[in-house]
Structure 1
Amino acid sequence: MRLALVSVLLSSLASVTVAEDTSKCPTGFAQYGNSCYWFSNVGGSFPEARSYCQFFRSHLVRITSKEEDDFVTHKAKQIGREFWLGATDCITEGEFRWEGGVPLNYTNWCPEQPNNDGGDKPHHCLMLWKRCGYRWNDLECDAELYFICERRVAGCCCSN
């Protein structure tokens, strides 16, 4: 993991803790629906971004609806950066899945994407592409981008 990423991780550790009221998101996370989202202020490769999110008991964002996509896109536009999302096609080329193998039931691909057009480096990881109005694009996983972590609201939503 890059030194800058480790430095930010350590310096932000104190600020990303669960608040006493467990119905809220940790400090620094924004709530939408039943999830909390953290838009990173540091870049990293896809694997680094995934590890960073896991450290904070979260995962790279999984966008499952137009409404959630609108929320994430709005925040990304305010920040003005490109971000990793939590899907790859590393298992089966051309078949993107969220972390954990969950199929994408909603997509917002930029036209003619995904195209795996990476020359020497195949494009296996999903990102929000600023140049295409923050629609989705495939990119080589070792590119350095900002990222979005997601976790459930603490104390929310029992699963049966």
Structure 2
Amino acid sequence: MILDIFVFTGCPDSIVHFKGSTYKFHCERFDSWLQAEADCNWQGGNLTSIETEEENNYLKYVANLIGGYWWIGLSDIKTEGLFQWTSSQQLTFTDWSQGPPIQPDDKSSTGLESNADCVLLNPSFSYQWTDESCSSSAGSKAICEIWSVFSF
């Protein structure tokens, strides 16, 4: 068994590998979930999709080492209440925060905005998933899952 050991100082833009997938923990703070997704697209991927508990625990572990709020590629932008990955992969696993408040609740974590359609790993809830307004969590970072590798 091979384990990756990480030592982070601050927030480096970090590429990590897990079970055949490549992730970029993008430390730039994005103004919106859509901006984060566009940046991941530019890098040859999407905001990450999470298919298993093992993958989720790994991503939460790395996110916790770096700190902050992290956008993932799940939203119900197209159809309210029907969460879908930007990668079009099937939603087979969830890690919604059990609250309070229980998620998803279609409200931002501040309670000031409704219509929370985008999902992030929320450190206030031990990096469980919360639905947030796609623009209200300005300052959130992004976990990109890179599908192709480019050489520049």
What TM-score results when the alignment is normalised by the length of structure 1?
Answer: 0.74
Q: CA deviation at 1:90?
A: 1.0
Q: CA deviation at 1:153?
A: 7.0
Whose strand proportion is higher, 1 or 2?
2
Would the alpha carbon gap of residues 91 and 139 (structure 1) be closer, same or farther in structure 2, given more than 3 Å must change?
same
Q: 2:118 aligns with which of 111, 116, 125?
A: 125
Who is 1:140 aligned against? 133
Who is 1:115 aligned against? 105
Helix, strand or coil: the match of 1:123?
coil
**C-alpha distance in structure 2 between counterparts of 1:136 and 1:102, whole Å:** 18
Q: 1:151 aligns with which of 121, 146, 151?
A: 146
Who is 1:37 aligned against? 23
Q: CA deviation at 1:58?
A: 1.1
Which stretches of structure 1, 4 residues or longer, exceed 6 Å deviation after superposition? none
- Answer whether contact 1:34 1:152 (CA < 8 A) is retained: no
| Number of equivalent positions | 128
Who is 2:4 aligned against? none
Pair 1:80-2:67 in alignment: yes
Whose helix proportion is higher, 1 or 2?
1
**C-alpha distance in structure 1 between counterparts of 2:103 and 2:35, whole Å:** 24
| Identity between Structure 1 and Structure 2 (%) | 27
Structure 1 unaligned regions, length at least 5: 1-15, 17-27, 155-160
Structure 2 unaligned regions, length at least 5: 1-12
Task: Decide which moves more: 97-106 or 46-55.
Answer: 97-106
- Answer whether contact 1:64 1:105 (CA < 8 A) is retained: yes
Helix, strand or coil: the match of 1:115?
coil
